[in-house]
Amino acid sequence: MDKAQARITFIDTIARFTAYTSKHLPDDVRTKLKELGDQEDSEMAKIIYTAMFDDLTMADALSRPVCQDTGIIQYFVQVGTHFPLIDEIEDCLREAVKKATALAPLRPNAVEVFDEKNTGNNVGVRIPWIEWELMPNRDDVQIYCYLAGGGSSLPGAAKVLMPLEGYEGVVKFVFDQISSYGVNACPPLLVGIGIAGSVEVAAKLSKKALLRPLGSHNSNPRGAELEARIEKGLNELHIGPGGFSGKNSVMGVHIEQAARHPATIAVGLSTGCWAHRRSLIRIDASMRYEIISHRGATI
Ligand code: SF4
C-alpha cells in the first residue's frame, strides 16, 4: 500500500474506531458494572443498573452512542519510531474526528474558548487532545481513545500539598473532591489519582490512570495497598449508581506516580463515569488493526 492509500485507510479506521467507542463500553467496564449491580439490594439501585444495561443493549441494537455527551475526544498515542505515518498522525486524528462525528453521529461538543462558538465537528484548538509516547524500534501504533464527558470531568482537580501533609493529605484531597462533586460524574466512578512533584504531571498521570484496565494494580505494593484502601473508603460513602445511594461508589481506584520533589507532594484527580468510553486499538505498518479493549470487535 502506498502512503496516500495508507493515510486514507488510517483515517477511516480511526473514525470507525472512535464511533465504535461511543457506542460500546469496553469488556472490563461491562463486567464490573454487572458485578456491582449484582451486589445491590435496594430497589432504586437495581432500577438504575437495569436502566444502564437497557441503554447499552439499545445503543448496540440502534447503533447509537451510549450517552448523549460525546465528551471531548482525547487520544493517547504510543507510536513506534518506524510507523510509516508517524509524521501525519496528528492531522489524521483531526480528520478522523470530523469523519466520526458525521458517521456515528456524535453530538458536537468542542466550544472555542473566548469565541464561545461550537465548532460543529468536535475539532478545535488543540482538540482532539493528543498525548504522545514513542516506542523505539517498532513500526506499529497503539492508540487509546477516550471520550471525556462533561459530567465525568467535573470532579477533576489538582493541587500541590505541603510535604508534611503526606499521603494522608492525598487521601483527604480525594475524599473531599469525591464527596463534594463525585455525584456529578454519574457514578459508579472510576477514580484516577496522580502523585508527583508538580501539578501538571500529577494531573496528567491521574488521567492516564483511567486508561488502565479495571482490576489492575499500581506497580508498587504500597501504591496498590493505597488504591485498595481508598476504594474501600469511597465505597463506604455508599454514593451508589447515579448518586441514588447503594452498596458501592466506585468501579475502581487507580494511582499512577512519578518521583516527586522532597518539598512537594502534588496530587491530581480525574474521574470516569459509569459510561467509561475508553478503548485501545493497535495498527500495524500495513494498516491492519486489532481492537484490544473490546473482545471480538470489528469496525
Ligand atoms: S457523566 Fe458520563 S454518563 Fe453522565 S452524562 Fe456525562 S458522559 Fe454521560
196 and 202 in contact (C-beta within 8 Å)?
yes
Query: Does ligand 1 have an atom closer than 6 angstroms to the CB of 25?
Result: no
Find cell 496498590 and name the residue: 224
Find out whether the beta carbon of 149 lies less than 6 Å from any atom of ligand 1. yes
Q: Whose CA is nearest to atom 3 of ligand 1?
A: 275
Domains and CATH numbers, the chain: 3-23+66-149+277-291 (3.30.360), 152-272 (3.30.1330)
- Residue 193 is predicted with a pLDDT of 98
Q: Residue 176: CB partners within 8 Å, gap ≥ 6?
A: none
Angle among Cα 154, 186, 253 to the nearest 5 degrees reads 80
Cβ neighbours around 43 below 10 Å, total: 8
Q: Which residue's C-alpha cell is 462533586?
A: 181
Q: How many CB atoms lie within 10 A of CB 155?
A: 22
pLDDT string in tens for the chain (299-residue length): 899 999 999 999 999 999 999 999 999 999 999 999 999 999 999 999 999 999 999 999 999 999 999 999 999 999 999 999 999 999 999 999 999 999 999 999 999 999 999 999 999 999 999 999 999 999 999 999 999 999 999 999 999 999 999 999 999 999 999 999 999 999 999 999 999 999 999 999 999 999 999 999 999 999 999 999 999 999 999 999 999 999 999 999 999 999 999 999 999 999 999 999 999 999 999 999 999 999 999 99
Query: What does residue 283 show for φ and ψ, rounded to 5 degrees?
Result: -125, 130
CB 177 within 8 A of CB 155: yes
Kindly state if the Cβ of 150 falls inside 6 Å of ligand 1: yes
Inter-helix orientation angle 166-181/221-235, to 10° = 30
Amino acid 296: pLDDT: 92
Q: How confident is the model at residue 1, as a pLDDT? A: 83
Which grid coordinates belong to 280?
485501545
CA–CA separation, 177 and 154 (whole Å): 10
For residue 288, give the C-alpha cell.
491492519
Separation of 6 CA from ligand 1 center, angstroms? 35
- Residue pair 272/147 in contact by the 8 Å Cβ criterion: no
Residue 214 in contact with residue 156, Cβ under 8 Å? no
**Ligand 1 center to 277 CA (angstroms):** 10
Cα 68 → chain centroid:
16
Nearest CA to ligand 1 atom 2: 273
Alpha carbon of 276 to ligand 1 centroid (Å): 8
CA distances in angstroms from 162 to 153, 234, 265, listed in the order given? 25, 24, 7
